[in-house]
Structure 1
Amino acid sequence: MAIYSYHYRFKANFPYDERQVFDPPTDPRFYRFTEVIWYGRDDEGWCVYRRDPYTGEKLRIDFDPPY
């Protein structure tokens, strides 16, 4: 089960890298999700949760395991 509920879910095609968690999103669809609310590994895998500060909507980005 996911740690937080979320409105959108996206699968990134590259491994999780903690050094890039706070970098701004490169996909224009996700520019509005500026707040990182959680990152790491949960029971579904490696992910980052980001939030839109104006609407409160949450995005979950799933990653491949780190090398």
Structure 2
Amino acid sequence: MHKQIANRGVRAKEGATILGCGQSTFWRYNSTRPDFPRPRSLSARMTVWDADELIAWRDSQIRAPRRS
């Protein structure tokens, strides 16, 4: 399903869709999770994340044990 978005930058809204969460949760992950993929600034008002990195992070969370 996500093959068409691989290898490109995605904004927070699309990133949240990839992860299956809301935008506020996506931003919280970005702020609080040290293992979350780092965004890239394209301009002062545009930040993107690599779609492949988000997919890999999502898949690693599925396999990882739950945090207490």
TM-score (norm 1): 0.26
Query: Which structure is richer in relative contact order (CA contacts within 8 A, separation 6 or more)?
Result: 1
Q: TM-score if structure 2 supplies the norm length?
A: 0.25
**Of the two, which has the highest radius of gyration?**
2
Structure with the largest fraction of helix: 2
Larger % of strand: which?
1
